[in-house]
Structure 1
């Protein structure tokens, strides 16, 4: 069995934030800037509450079967919910999208490298 790598993106919207919660998010905005975004096992959160109430979590997971991506997406959504709930942040419209990197098309550099190696 081969190990598959999954990227899961969980999106949503903050809902009914208090003034204090909004201030807290703004205070930590640099850590959660989209320019610092990454797919990580623990999930990386990005947002810009100064512009809009939307947020995105990016998760990296793995599995052996193609169907494992469904469980990975469920784990990612559960982790996002837990993070938000633990901090008391209201949210709505939580949804996820997933990508199996073993199914992703190769980029130009990858195709060139594969051709060089004779793969």
Structure 2
């Protein structure tokens, strides 16, 4: 599983795009989903796009990045990408607290 965070700016939004985004604005909706979740403020200048993608055994960060960009483009809003961060959840190790006897 990959979790990808894309930070960017909206670019020349139409009035319809602006109205649609403002109708959906929810600062508390920040989940990683397969279709992707936008977080932005009312000025509609910058955004954060989060998505979670299944990983095939031979997938790496470049493949996850391309699939995340495709998910972002599927939403149809004109944008510019500033930064992309990819986390391969297969590499995350969870340390459990030891119980003391």
* TM-score using structure 2 length: 0.77
Greater helix share, structure number: 1
| Gaps in structure 2 of 5+ consecutive residues | none
Query: Is residue 37 from structure 1 mapped to residue 30 from structure 2 by the alignment?
Result: yes
| Residue in structure 2 matching 1:99, options 87, 93, 98 | 87
C-alpha spacing 1:21/1:52, structure 2 compared with 1 (3 Å): closer
Q: How many angstroms does 1:98 deviate by?
A: 0.1
Residues in 1 aligned to 2:14 and 2:8: alpha-carbon distance in whole angstroms: 17
Where does structure 1 lack aligned partners over 5 or more consecutive residues?
none
RMSD across aligned positions (CA):
2.2
Normalising by structure 1, report the TM-score: 0.67
State the secondary structure of the residue aligned to 1:45.
Answer: strand
Match of 1:70 among 53, 58, 62: 62
Q: Shift in Å at residue 19 of structure 1?
A: 3.6
Using the alignment, how far apart are the partners of 1:41 and 1:68 within structure 2? 17
